[in-house]
Amino acid sequence: MDKDPQNNNERLTRQQYRQQHTTVSNNSEDEQQPFRSRVDQKIEQEQLTSEQKMQRLRKRLNIAIISLVVAIIIVYLILFFVK
């Protein structure tokens, strides 16, 4: 029986387990970078300056205004062409 830590029949020492776990977690962190926890998002949001917050709000308001204008135009077109 060889000393391969990947072998399921053999028990791992704590050090081997930790090394294996950190290797797997480092690989998974790279893959899961776009997905952040809510705590990380909240901390980042608190660190934004007031100027950055205003820019973000402006962008959201512009999107909301544009979508409402498009929705109003669609409603008028429906009312005009459907009798």
Question: Do 77 and 69 form a contact (C-beta atoms < 8 A)?
Answer: no
DSSP the chain: ----TT-TTSPPPHHHHHHHHHHHHHHHHHHTTT---HHHHHHHHHHS-HHHHHHHHHHHHHHHHHHHHHHHHHHHHHHHH--
Between residues 66 and 40, the one the model is more confident about: 66
Between residues 64 and 16, the one the model is more confident about: 64
Between residues 20 and 64, the one the model is more confident about: 64
Predicted TM-score of the model (pTM): 0.43
Residue 20's CB is within 10 A of a number of other CB atoms, namely 13
- 27-61 pLDDT, tens digit each: 555 555 566 788 887 787 777 777 788 898 999 99
Between residues 67 and 47, the one the model is more confident about: 67
**So where are the chain's domains?**
49-83
